[in-house]
C-alpha cells in the first residue's frame, strides 16, 4: 500500500516538475506573446526587441506595457523606408540642436535616447504634436511622426550601449532681464546653455543651438559661428538681400552678452 502511494506521489511530482519546466521554457522563449499574436520577422529579432511588453505574463495589461504598435515597430526592418525617412526628418529639422539622439547632439533639452527607451511611444507622439513652449512646432503630419518615431527607435537601439548624457541644466524662475530678451526676444526665442529659456517671439526662427553643428539653417552655405553672427546682427541684408530682420545697434558689451547667451 505504501509502495503504491509513493509511486503515485512520484508520478504526481514528476508531472508538476514537467509543468514548471514547460512554463519556464515558454517564458524564456516569449511563447506567451505568440499565444495571441502571429510571429513575424523572427530571423531579425524577438517580440520584445521590436514591440516591448512583458512576455512572461498572460495578463494583457502587463504584457502590453509600453507596447510599440506595428506602424512604429519597423525600425529594424530594411524592407520598409520608415526608418530612413525618419532619420532624414530628424536631421532636416535639427532635432539634435537641443536633444541627444543616437548618442549625438546637445544636452539643452531631454535626452531622447533615454526618453524613447523609457516612455510610452504615445507620449512622445503627443509631445511632437503639442510641443512645449520652447520647442518649435514643426507641424509634422501623422505620417511624418510615424517616420520620426521609427528613426528615434532605430538610432536609440543602435546606441543602447553608449553612456547616456542627461539634460545639461534645468532653469526655473530665471527669466531675468538680459540683452537677448531685450533686443531679440520679441521675435525670437531659444534655450540658452547659460540662461535657459529666453525670449518669447514666434514670428522668427527658434534660435536654440544656433552655433552648434546641428542647426538646420545655414547662411550662404556656411554654418553659423560667432563671427558670422556678429556680421549678421550689424547688417542682415549684407548677407541676405531679402532678409526681413532689421539692423540692431549693439555695443561690444551687448554683443558679448548675446554671444555668451548662445554658449560661446
Domain holding 93: CATH number?
A: 1.10.760
The answer to whether residues 39 and 162 belong to one domain is yes
User: Of the residues 141, 168, 195, which one is the last residue of a structural domain?
Assistant: 168
Going by C-alpha positions, the residue among 96, 51, 74 that lies closest to residue 149 is 74
Please give the helix or strand (H or E) that residue 104 lies within, else none.
Answer: strand 104-105
Give the CATH number, domain containing residue 207.
1.10.760.10
- Give the cell for residue 185: 526676444
Q: How many domains does the chain have?
A: 2
Domain that holds residue 81: 35-168
Domain stop point among 168, 188, 213: 168
Specify if 240 maps to a domain: yes
Q: What is the pLDDT of residues 49-98, one digit of tens each?
A: 889 888 888 888 888 888 999 999 999 999 899 999 999 999 999 999 99
In-domain check, residue 209: yes
* Residue of 20 and 244 predicted with greater confidence: 244
Buried b (16+ CB within 10 A) or exposed e, 158-194: ebeeeeeeeeeeeeeeeeeebbbbebbbebbbbbbbb
Is pTM beyond 0.75 here? yes
Amino acid at each position: 500500500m505504501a509502495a503504491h502511494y509513493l509511486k503515485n506521489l512520484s508520478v504526481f511530482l514528476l508531472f508538476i516538475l514537467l509543468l514548471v519546466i514547460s512554463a519556464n521554457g515558454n517564458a524564456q522563449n516569449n511563447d506567451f506573446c505568440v499565444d495571441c499574436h502571429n510571429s513575424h520577422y523572427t530571423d531579425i529579432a524577438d517580440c520584445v526587441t521590436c514591440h516591448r511588453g512583458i512576455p512572461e505574463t498572460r495578463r494583457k495589461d502587463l504584457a502590453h506595457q509600453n507596447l510599440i504598435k506595428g506602424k512604429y515597430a519597423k525600425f529594424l526592418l530594411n524592407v520598409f523606408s520608415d526608418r530612413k525617412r525618419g532619420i532624414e526628418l530628424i536631421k532636416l529639422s535639427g532635432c539634435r540642436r537641443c536633444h541627444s539622439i543616437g548618442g549625438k547632439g546637445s544636452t539643452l533639452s531631454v535626452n531622447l535616447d533615454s526618453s524613447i527607451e523609457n516612455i510610452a511611444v504615445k507620449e512622445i507622439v503627443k509631445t511632437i504634436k503639442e510641443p512645449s513652449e520652447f520647442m518649435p512646432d514643426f507641424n509634422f503630419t501623422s505620417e511624418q511622426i510615424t517616420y520620426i518615431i521609427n528613426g528615434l527607435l532605430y538610432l536609440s537601439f543602435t546606441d543602447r550601449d553608449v553612456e547616456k548624457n542627461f539634460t545639461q541644466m534645468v532653469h526655473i524662475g530665471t527669466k531675468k532681464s538680459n540683452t537677448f530678451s531685450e533686443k531679440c526676444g520679441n521675435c525670437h526665442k531659444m534655450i540658452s546653455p547659460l540662461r535657459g529659456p529666453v525670449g518669447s517671439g514666434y514670428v522668427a526662427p527658434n534660435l536654440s543651438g544656433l552655433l552648434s553643428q546641428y542647426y538646420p539653417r545655414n547662411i550662404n552655405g556656411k554654418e553659423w559661428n560667432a563671427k558670422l553672427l556678429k556680421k549678421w546682427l550689424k547688417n542682415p541684408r549684407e548677407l541676405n538681400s531679402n532678409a526681413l530682420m532689421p539692423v540692431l545697434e549693439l555695443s561690444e558689451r551687448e554683443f558679448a552678452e548675446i554671444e555668451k547667451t548662445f554658449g560661446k
